[in-house]
Amino acid sequence: MGLLSYFSVISHDEAERLHLATREQRLEDDADCIKMVQQREALKKIAKAEKIKIQNRKRQRSKRQCDQAQKEDPSNAKTAELSCPRQLFKEDAAKNRDVRGQKHEHKATDAKLNNWVNPLLWQQIVNAGHEAGPQLSPTEIVKILKARNLQNFSKLTPQVLGCYIERPLNNNGSCTFEVEGSKQVAVTSKEEKRAWTAVVGVTAAGNVLPMQIVMKGGSQHSLPSSNSLDYAESKELGLLFGLNAKNYWSNIPLLEEYLKKIVTPHFSMQKQRLGYPEDQECVVLLDCWLVHRSEEF
């Protein structure tokens, strides 16, 4: 019995009819798929429109609550104006001026934008930030503020508050807040920096040798003062401070000083500890810095 015995034999006309039927079925299936996709997209549009309606209703309800609160307490009706008192100072000063001279062409208008760093408002934001926890979620902070003082913080949004959270919350420039456990924290209000190079040596046993600190400068005034904090401890640990007049990188004299005062004493101590002769050869592996590839080196 051959392999073809498992298949039925049909004529050419039957094969053509079967092909047409299969093609029509594929077209119907494709049409159904297209229809399902269109229905799915229509449902997405309906859901999106409904979401926008809900957000608009919430926004309108919040505005009505704010307006009602302002009617009940007129003293808080102009938060923007009270948070920007400069215009009021200018108006008071204008009252004492000579009435003669050119008249004002434009009348004074009330402030429209709130000054959230005004001490009267900022302290409330700081307190809400402490209550919100270390995550400092803008949404949570805004929710707390509106629950406590809807009149003054009705126009505050999480997006606006997020710009202020990146700055120190205590508003004195001495601290930076970040999520607990972050690997890197951006430093604010610390624009002046001092670059320097640390020459680090590690032995084959895994011990770290004292570092050489290279700073740019032409005199000892460019180095840390002997009266600075922990300076005595750094000298006890064997730290070596060096100067480079051109930049803060190591050069030939500094490298020679590092080998003479740090590497060579370490080799001598290890030879004495292990009982090796003084002429025992030692190996130093150096990174391929430019100074190490110079003709002078």
Domain count, the chain: 3
Enclosing domain of residue 65:
16-72
- Token pair belonging to 62: 């919040």
The reply to whether 149 and 211 lie within a common domain is no
The reply to whether 170 and 218 lie within a common domain is no
Q: At what angle do helices 158-165 and 138-148 cross, to 10 degrees?
A: 110
The reply to whether 176 and 257 lie within a common domain is no
User: pLDDT tens string for the chain (297 positions)?
Assistant: 455 566 677 777 877 777 777 877 788 888 888 888 889 999 999 999 999 999 899 888 877 876 776 665 554 446 777 777 776 677 776 677 666 666 666 666 666 778 888 888 888 888 888 888 877 788 889 889 888 887 788 788 888 888 877 544 444 455 666 667 766 666 655 555 677 888 889 888 888 899 998 888 888 888 888 888 888 888 888 888 888 888 888 888 888 899 999 999 999 998 998 899 988 888 888 877 776 677 776
Tell whether 189 is covered by a domain: no
- Token pair belonging to 161: 């508050």
Tell whether 11 is covered by a domain: no
State the pTM of this model.
Answer: 0.37
The reply to whether 162 and 77 lie within a common domain is yes
The reply to whether 202 and 286 lie within a common domain is yes
Tell whether 10 is covered by a domain: no
Looking at residue 137, its amino acid is S
pLDDT at 75: 47
The reply to whether 277 and 206 lie within a common domain is yes
Alpha carbon 19 to its chain centroid, in Å, reads 62
Tell whether 92 is covered by a domain: no
The reply to whether 44 and 126 lie within a common domain is no
d(CA 262, CA 166): 44
